[in-house]
Amino acid sequence: MNAILSPLLRGPGPCPTVHTKRLVLRPHRTSDADAIAESLGDFEVARMLSRVPLPYDRQDALDGLATAASTSLPGWNLAITTGDDVHIGVVAIELRHGQWHLGYWLNRYFWGRGFMSEAASAVVERFFRRMPDEMLHSGAFADNGASLRIQDRLGFAITGRGDLYSRSRGAMAPHITTRLGQPEFRPILAA
């Protein structure tokens, strides 16, 4: 095996449980399906994601959880939970086309409270601790200013602009791509 490719194939290791000041980020459970369906069934959440169809229901969530559990691909898919283990969103790092990608979403009820900044920062910090020489890619639809602000605060730099198909919108939408290396990473402290 090529020594250059082996870290990519190995990945950052098993999906961790990460504790922050207000959150617990943990591997998903089948019992998360109802909360996932509620969140992704909301057009205001789904429209910011490229791969989520609408309508989105409990069976879609169960299928997604089963697929994630059965894959041997490296990466993390973490449930964002509050102290009482209420599932409020997701932060994921996955290998796509040979590049590590950060993705995330949050139930609309929890927007504007700094939860996503706290969760994304903690997961990115853990990723770079395990994979310090890798680049992390992300992006957001151009009308998702909150997500782009989080990426900017973390140190992501814009690498491109184009259009990306959104399943929930049923149309192409302007999209901005970003990239972050460990030296540029700026942790966001919890509120």
The residue to which tokens 């490229």 are assigned:
50
Over range 18-26, report the average pLDDT: 95
Among the ranges given (71-75, 117-121, 159-163), the one the predictor scored with the smallest mean pLDDT: 71-75
Domains in the chain, start-ordered, CATH in brackets? Answer: 6-134 (3.40.630.30)
Summarised one tens digit per residue, pLDDT across range 102-142 is 999 999 999 999 999 999 999 999 999 999 999 999 999 99
Q: Which of 144, 157, 158 is nearest to 116 (CA)?
A: 144
- The 3-state DSSP class for residue 79 equals strand
Q: How far apart are CA 78 and CA 146, in angstroms?
A: 20
Task: Flag the least confident range among 71-75, 76-80, 111-115, 140-144.
Answer: 71-75
- What are the structure tokens assigned to 124, written together? 């990115």
